[in-house]
Amino acid sequence: MDLEGFEAATVPHMNALYDAAVRLAGDHATAQDLTQETYLRALRSFDTFRPGSNSRAWLLRIQYNLFCTQYRRGRRMPVMWLDEGEADPSLDLPSHEPGPEEQIVRELDREAVRRAIARLPEDFRMAVTLVDIHGLSCAEAATVMGVPRGTILSRLHRARRRLEAILMPELGRVQADDL
């Protein structure tokens, strides 16, 4: 077994896997278990990994399959978002020093987005998480979720429309069509 190759291919993605696990599982303890089990299964099947392919997508696929298996067994827990100090940097707004009022508005907006994403159906939430938060391509997200690329595109489109419908009234903003 090539332990050095396994470490080189998988360890750099540990934080991304844990973040995805928190979003899927809903709590830190379950996310830790899910991440650990993902790495254990990845180690067991590392001989099936094709060197040069996307190891993060491969790991996320293992994790997603594991989560789905646990979900079918009735172990699913509600979604819980990370605290601000641990938030995904891709959700942060540009880093200039805003005033206290702007900081409060930004935090309220972030919370609104987190709540809105949590309200999406699981398939939509997973597509948005993989593509918009973790930066996977639609093809990579399709591989992770085991669906055609067109299905990911459709889920993203529908998820974004739902997010817009949820967030526009909540954030008090007017849609371009309403102008």
CATH of 92-174, one of 3.40.250.10, 3.40.50.2000, 1.10.10.10, 2.30.30.40: 1.10.10.10
- Residue 159's pLDDT is 94
Task: Give the global pTM.
Answer: 0.53
CB atoms within 10 A of CB 134: 22
135-150 pLDDT per residue, tens: 889 998 999 899 999 9
49-96 pLDDT per residue, tens: 888 888 898 998 899 888 877 766 654 445 555 554 455 555 454 445
CATH of 1-82, one of 2.60.120.380, 3.50.30.30, 1.20.120.1080, 1.10.1740.10: 1.10.1740.10
Distance CA 68, CA 146 (A): 12
Cα–Cα distance list, 64 to 10, 45, 48, 68, 157 (Å): 16, 15, 17, 6, 21
- Residue 147's pLDDT is 94
> What stretch(es) of the chain map to CATH 1.10.1740.10?
1-82
- Residue 156's pLDDT is 94
> What stretch(es) of the chain map to CATH 1.10.10.10?
92-174
- Residue 75's pLDDT is 43
- Residue 94's pLDDT is 47
Cβ pair 26, 78 in contact under 8 A: yes
1-48 pLDDT per residue, tens: 678 888 888 899 999 899 888 877 777 888 899 899 999 999 998 988
Cα–Cα distance list, 144 to 73, 91, 179 (Å): 20, 22, 40
